[in-house]
Each structure stands twice: as structure tokens, then as C-alpha cells.
């Protein structure tokens, strides 16, 4: 007689230990990377790196890159690339500079207009990719050069021949929206903490760290919103489906075109946001702004667990990927190493991440 | 006697000067499994694509639930209740079973900006529907890539039935499967049929067809050679019809009846 099988449990499947489940998360590599890099700098770097001001120091560039990286990750999950992100930062910076300085618009108009402008260029990128069926890699490579060139020409046009547009600081200084896009937030909390002696202070009694740089807050907020969209909304499911197999997604009723075009628009707007934040911060914009950021953003996404083939990845992973990036860029200055090791390190990181992700993918899909 | 859900009469389809279908008549009743048999090139694929709205017939009529109907797109057919499970299954291996199950038709809760994918409800429905089909999922967030071919087929069938299919077209569901998996899929088909769905089972394997079919229609060179109901035809006769009868008869001896 055959033993009667328990209908609820398949006897061939072992229960899965917590660690194995953890191993299947796309973020795992990036989180592991943050831990490794932290240990590395704990040992090699000056202890100043992990003080509050040291952390703010490396989180600021991490945040600027991370906003781009999270957008790039979402687009990559949707199965496309955008190589024009870096140039878009320069172009949006130029547009924003022209709106605020040359036209003299207040931020409440200048910012939405800049974002809308960037979004429309993103939409054009997306439409070209969809209409022609060409790889987005090649289409956005073209946009990379077009936008970079257009930024140069535009800057010269609006500044009588200079490649730098100054005066943004003066133009927006007294705008009520400036504190949202520039400077430090929660200053009062930090002053309070300094008063009661929790934070280190200067001789004047002011805290050494005046607050949280706003870009860090934007970065965290964007990571949370992106994660929520990816994991808890229909749109998120459509993004994964579109990247996984756009044909299957289309046949199942997913609006594949709309998903892809929206993702290109989000990426372009993320670039514009970074442009706005950094341009207000610097007070000027130039044609080299955002140089090479497209590659750094893609590396961030890959370290964060995105597959180059699409359909898999996470925004939280890209969040940690960006932190690794910031730690390495800034951290090397706290060590005795030559700073130019940075790029070697970056290449190594990328290679390890890709190999690791590939192994993870095989685990998830049960390939043998 | 109930009426057929779909009745297709004298369907012709020409592609330029190629005549792919030359007068095919086919119908499906609720709760029946109607097998469409034919060798490669007989016109099976063209016919099911016509039925599922991918192609428009050059001539012939389609009656759906008694009313004449013409589908302009696969979407029209899907909305009317004709679901097709193609060989590629429209499944994404990297995504979880639940996410695949509800792909493009996610249940939501909340409204406005808080409208979100109700993942708990989705997981629950998915596990339940799969259990109905005789598959116990390890976890609803298990990736489809970890399922076997037969299980994937079952997910695709369960999905079609859950979303209200009245006619379920299965395109060679057993062609790439092993013996055990084939029997699983065949028993899934039997369950679906019990729920009153009309199943169109396309195959060139007579044994698989005989196992679940109520009626058998043989296509050859774009034409129906006839429809027989279960018990009125032997596997050997079906096999002969499919092959056109001649060459196979001479091969029969040397192959010892194994085809």
C-alpha cells in the first residue's frame, strides 16, 4: 500500500532556513558590501571618518549619486538603460540656471518647469526606443552626446560665450523653497543636541554638524517611495514583468509601452532633481556637471543587485550601492592610500557584484 | 441539450496565395474537452490564432454564446472569455508565482494615491487556486523559474480559469513534458472541465488526446476531416486520419505500432 500523502505538505521540499531565504534577496550583495567596506575603513581609515561629520561627508555624494542610481535601478528592472543621465544633469542644470538667472523665475515655477522639461526629453528617449525597437543602450548613447553638446552650446548662448552660468545663488537666495533643495535640515534639533552636550561643538557653542544635508533626505525619501512602488503597487509588478519578458507582459495585459516611457521620464526627472540640488548648492552650473554619472549610476544599480538583462533588482539595493560608492570615494581621503585607487576599487566592486548577482539569479530561478 | 459556447463554421484563412485554412468547422460545449488533432502544418496554429482573435478569418462565421461575433484583437477574445495558453505560457521565470498569476490584473486595495497591490490577498488566492489544481506551492513568493514545466503549465491554466475563461485553448500543453508531468497536466484539464469550462486541447499525440478528450476533430491540410466522439473511434484510426493514412500504414509493420 502506498502511504497517504499529506495534502498540505510536499515531502520532497525541505523547509527553508532563514539564511537561505535571505540569500535570495537582491539587496543582499549591497548590504554585505556596505559591511565589508565599513570594516575595511574601520581598520585603515582615520577614526574621524565615522564621526557624525565624517558620515555626513560621505553620505552627501552618496545621496547625489543614489538619487540617480535608484532611478537607473528602476529603469534597469524595467529592462532598459539610460546612458544620458549624466548629460541630463548638465542639461537640466543649464535649463534651471536659465530659468532662475536669465528669466528670473521664482523656484515655484522654475523647478516644475525644469522637471517637466527633463521629463519630456526622457519621454522622447523612451518613445524612440519603443518605436524603433533599438536597444536603449544605443539610443541613449546618442542622447548622451546630444545633451552634453546642447548644454555647452546653450550655456554659451545664454552667457555670451562662457561655459559656466553664475548667479544662481543670488537669484534664489531669498526664495521660500530654497531650504527644501539646499543646505541642511533639522538644524534646530542639532543645536538643541549640542546645547545638552550630545553633539560636539565649536568654541562658539554651535554644533560641528549644522544639520542633515537636504539631499540625504531626498535620497532616503526616494529610496522608500521607489521600494514601495516596486513591491506594493500594480505599477511595480508591471515594471518587473516588463523587464522580465516584455512580450509575455504585453500578452498578459501589462501596458508595456507606458511603463517604459514612464521609467525614462522618472530617470530624467531624477537627473533634473540632482541638477537642481547641486546647482543651488554650488551657485552656478557648467557643462561638465554630471560627467560620467551615467556609468556610476548604472554601477550603483548593479551593485544593488539589478540584473543587466532586466526583471530583477531592488531600490534598497541601489540605496546601499550608492552608500558604498560614497564611502569609497570619500573614505580613501581618510586613509594613507593614494586616492586614485578609487577607480580600481570601483571596477573590482562592479566585477564582484556582477558575478555575485549571476549566482543569486541562478538560486532564485532554481537553475542548476 | 446545451448550446455550444463557441461555434465556428466554414472558417477559411488565406495568407496571400497560401491557403492555410480551407473550411474548418469546430465547436465547443461547456464542460467538454474537444481535441484538435493534426500533424505539423495541418493548420492547427492558424486555427487557434483565429479563435483567439490574433487572425481575422478570410471567410466563415464565429458564433459566441449564440451571437455572431468578430474579434478585432486578442484582448477582445480574452474579454469575451476565450483564454489561450500558448506554448511559451507568458510566464516570467524571475518573478514569483503570485506576481505571475496576477500579472497585468493585480488586485488592489485602498484608493487614490494609497491604491496598492493587495499582495496578501493575491498570495492567498494564488495558493488556493494552485491547491485546487493539485499543486502545493512551497511559498507563493517562490519564483516561477523553480517550477517544473508541468507546474508552470498548471499555473497558466489556473490563471486563465481564475480570470473567467469560458473557453480555454491549450496549445500542445504536453508536447515538452515528461510522463509524470503530462499526467498532472491531463488531470488539471479534467478538473477544469468539471468547472464547466470548454477546453480546446491541441495536440499531435493521440494517446494524450484519448486520455482526456470527449470529442476529436482531425485537421489535415487546412480542412477538417471529421469529428468523432469518444468511443466511436480507436487510437489507430485517429492516427491514420492525422497522417493522411497512407505512409504510416506501410511503416506500421516495421515500427511495431509504437508511433
For the stretch B13-72, pLDDT in tens is 888 888 888 888 888 999 899 999 888 778 888 888 888 888 888 888 888 888 888 888
Residues 261-320 of A with CB under 8 A from B: 307, 311-312
C-beta of residue B12 within 8 angstroms of C-beta of residue B57: yes
For B49, the domain range is 6-94+143-255
- The confidence score (pLDDT) of residue B90 equals 80
**Dihedrals phi, psi of A201, to nearest 5 degrees:** -125, 160
In order of A52, A300, A321, the CA distances from A314 in angstroms are 28, 11, 11
- Best of A76, A225, A234, A235 to disrupt the B interface (most B CBs within 10 Å) is A234
B14 assigned to some structural domain? yes
Biggest CA pair distance of chain B: 71
Chain-centre distance for alpha carbon B89:
11
Spatial neighbors of A232 by CB under 8 A, at least 6 apart, are B116, B117, B119
Instruction: Identify the closest residue of chain A to B104 by CA–CA distance.
Output: A254
Lowest model confidence (mean pLDDT) among A133-147, A179-193, B77-91, B152-166 = B77-91
* Grid coordinates given for B228: 468523432
A29 assigned to some structural domain? no
Global pTM value: 0.86
Contact call for A241 and B117, based on CB within 8 A: no
Contact call for B95 and A364, based on CB within 8 A: no
Q: Which of A245, A253, A365 sits opposite B105 (nearest CB)?
A: A253
A15 assigned to some structural domain? no
- Best of A5, A14, A79, A364 to disrupt the B interface (most B CBs within 10 Å) is A364
Q: What is the CATH number of the domain that holds B17?
A: 3.40.50.300
For A216, the domain range is 52-363
Closest Cα in chain B, distance from residue A148 (Å)? 36
B119 assigned to some structural domain? no
pLDDT tens-digit profile, chain A (368 residues): 344 444 445 555 555 666 666 666 788 888 888 998 999 999 998 888 898 889 999 999 999 999 999 999 999 999 999 999 999 999 999 999 999 999 999 999 999 999 999 999 999 999 999 999 999 999 999 999 999 999 999 999 998 888 899 989 889 888 899 999 988 888 888 888 888 877 777 777 778 888 899 999 999 999 999 999 999 999 999 999 999 998 888 878 889 999 999 999 999 999 999 999 999 999 999 988 999 999 999 999 999 989 888 999 999 999 999 999 999 889 988 988 888 888 888 888 889 888 888 887 777 666 54
State mean pLDDT over B91-114.
87
CA dihedral B94, A26, A264, A142 (to 10 degrees): -100
Spatial neighbors of A194 by CB under 8 A, at least 6 apart, are A200, A201, A205, A206, A207
Coil, strand or helix at B26: strand
A26 assigned to some structural domain? no
In order of A295, A348, B127, the CA distances from A355 in angstroms are 18, 11, 33
A39 assigned to some structural domain? no
State mean pLDDT over B215-238.
83
Work out how many domains chain A is built from and give that number.
Answer: 1
Q: What is the CATH number of the domain that holds A81?
A: 1.10.3470
Q: Which of A245, A254, A312 sits opposite B104 (nearest CB)?
A: A254
Q: Which of B205, B202, B201 has its CA nearest to residue B259? A: B205
Reported in sequence order, the residue ranges of chain B that DSSP labels E, i.e. its strands, are 6-15, 18-28, 33-38, 59-64, 67-68, 82-85, 108-109, 116-117, 167-171, 198-203, 215-220, 223-229
Work out how many domains chain B is built from and give that number.
Answer: 1
Contact call for A364 and B94, based on CB within 8 A: yes
Contact call for B90 and A234, based on CB within 8 A: no
CA dihedral A43, A47, A49, A54 (to 10 degrees): 160
Q: Which of B95, B139, B146 sits opposite A240 (nearest CB)?
A: B95
For the stretch B122-133, pLDDT in tens is 999 999 888 888
C-beta of residue A303 within 8 angstroms of C-beta of residue A65: no
- Best of B75, B82, B94, B126 to disrupt the A interface (most A CBs within 10 Å) is B94
A69 assigned to some structural domain? yes
Amino acid at each position: 500500500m502506498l502511504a497517504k500523502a499529506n495534502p498540505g505538505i510536499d515531502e520532497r521540499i525541505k523547509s527553508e532556513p532563514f539564511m537561505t531565504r535571505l540569500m535570495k534577496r537582491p539587496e543582499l550583495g549591497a548590504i554585505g558590501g556596505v559591511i565589508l567596506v565599513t570594516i575595511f575603513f574601520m581598520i585603515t581609515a582615520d577614526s574621524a571618518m565615522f564621526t557624525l561629520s565624517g558620515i555626513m561627508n560621505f553620505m552627501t555624494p552618496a545621496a547625489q549619486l543614489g538619487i540617480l542610481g535608484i532611478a537607473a535601478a528602476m529603469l534597469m528592472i524595467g529592462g532598459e538603460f539610460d546612458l544620458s543621465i549624466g548629460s541630463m544633469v548638465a542639461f537640466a542644470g543649464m535649463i534651471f540656471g536659465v530659468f532662475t538667472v536669465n528669466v528670473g523665475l521664482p523656484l515655484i515655477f522654475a523647478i516644475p518647469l525644469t522637471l517637466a522639461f527633463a521629463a519630456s526629453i526622457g519621454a522622447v528617449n523612451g518613445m524612440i526606443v519603443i518605436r524603433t525597437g533599438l536597444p536603449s543602450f544605443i539610443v541613449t548613447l546618442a542622447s548622451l552626446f546630444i545633451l552634453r553638446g546642447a548644454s555647452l552650446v546653450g550655456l554659451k548662448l545664454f552667457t555670451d560665450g562662457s561655459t559656466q552660468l553664475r548667479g544662481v545663488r543670488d537669484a534664489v537666495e531669498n526664495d521660500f523653497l530654497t531650504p527644501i533643495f539646499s543646505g541642511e535640515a533639522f538644524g534646530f534639533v542639532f543645536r538643541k543636541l549640542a546645547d545638552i552636550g550630545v553633539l560636539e561643538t565649536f568654541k562658539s557653542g554651535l554644533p560641528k554638524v549644522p544639520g542633515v544635508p537636504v539631499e540625504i533626505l531626498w535620497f532616503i525619501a526616494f529610496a522608500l517611495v521607489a521600494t514601495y512602488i516596486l513591491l506594493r503597487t500594480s505599477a511595480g509588478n508591471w515594471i518587473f514583468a516588463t523587464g522580465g519578458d516584455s512580450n509575455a507582459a504585453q500578452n498578459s495585459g501589462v501596458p508595456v509601452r507606458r511603463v517604459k516611457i514612464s521609467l525614462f521620464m522618472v530617470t530624467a526627472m531624477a537627473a533634473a532633481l540632482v541638477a537642481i540640488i547641486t546647482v543651488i548648492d554650488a551657485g552656478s552650473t557648467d557643462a561638465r556637471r554630471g560627467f560620467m554619472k551615467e556609468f556610476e549610476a548604472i554601477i550603483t544599480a548593479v551593485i544593488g543587485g539589478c540584473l543587466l538583462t532586466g526583471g530583477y533588482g531592488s531600490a534598497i539595493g541601489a540605496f546601499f550601492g550608492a552608500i558604498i560608492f560614497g564611502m569609497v570615494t570619500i573614505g580613501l581621503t581618510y586613509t594613507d592610500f593614494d586616492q586614485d585607487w578609487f577607480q580600481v576599487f570601483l571596477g573590482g566592486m562592479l566585477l564582484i557584484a556582477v558575478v555575485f548577482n549571476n549566482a543569486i539569479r541562478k538560486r532564485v530561478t532554481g537553475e542548476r | 441539450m446545451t448550446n455550444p459556447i463557441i461555434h465556428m463554421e466554414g472558417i477559411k484563412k488565406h495568407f496571400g496565395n497560401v491557403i492555410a485554412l480551407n473550411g474548418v468547422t469546430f465547436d465547443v460545449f461547456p464542460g467538454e474537452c474537444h481535441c484538435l488533432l493534426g500533424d505539423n502544418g495541418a493548420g492547427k496554429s492558424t486555427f487557434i490564432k483565429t479563435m483567439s482573435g490574433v487572425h481575422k478569418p478570410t471567410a466563415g462565421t464565429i458564433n459566441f454564446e449564440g451571437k455572431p461575433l468578430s474579434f478585432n484583437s486578442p484582448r477582445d477574445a480574452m474579454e469575451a472569455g476565450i483564454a489561450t495558453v500558448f506554448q511559451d505560457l507568458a510566464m516570467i521565470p524571475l518573478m514569483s508565482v503570485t506576481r505571475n498569476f496576477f500579472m497585468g490584473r493585480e488586485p488592489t486595495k485602498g484608493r487614490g494615491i494609497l491604491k496598492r497591490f493587495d499582495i496578501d490577498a493575491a498570495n492567498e488566492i494564488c495558493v488556493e487556486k494552485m491547491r485546487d489544481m493539485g499543486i502545493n506551492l512551497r511559498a507563493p513568493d517562490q519564483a516561477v523559474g523553480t517550477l517544473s514545466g508541468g507546474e508552470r503549465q498548471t499555473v497558466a491554466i489556473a490563471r486563465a480559469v481564475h480570470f473567467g475563461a469560458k473557453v480555454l485553448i491549450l496549445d500542445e500543453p504536453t508536447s515538452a513534458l515528461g510522463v509524470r508531468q503530462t499526467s498532472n497536466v491531463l488531470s488539471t484539464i479534467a478538473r477544469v472541465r468539471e468547472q464547466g469550462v470548454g477546453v480546446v486541447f491541441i495536440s499531435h499525440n493521440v494517446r494524450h488526446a484519448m486520455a482526456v478528450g470527449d470529442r476529436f476533430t482531425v485537421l489535415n491540410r487546412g480542412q477538417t476531416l471529421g469529428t468523432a466522439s469518444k468511443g466511436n473511434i480507436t487510437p489507430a484510426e485517429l492516427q491514420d486520419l492525422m497522417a493522411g493514412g497512407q505512409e504510416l500504414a506501410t511503416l506500421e509493420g516495421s515500427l511495431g505500432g509504437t508511433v
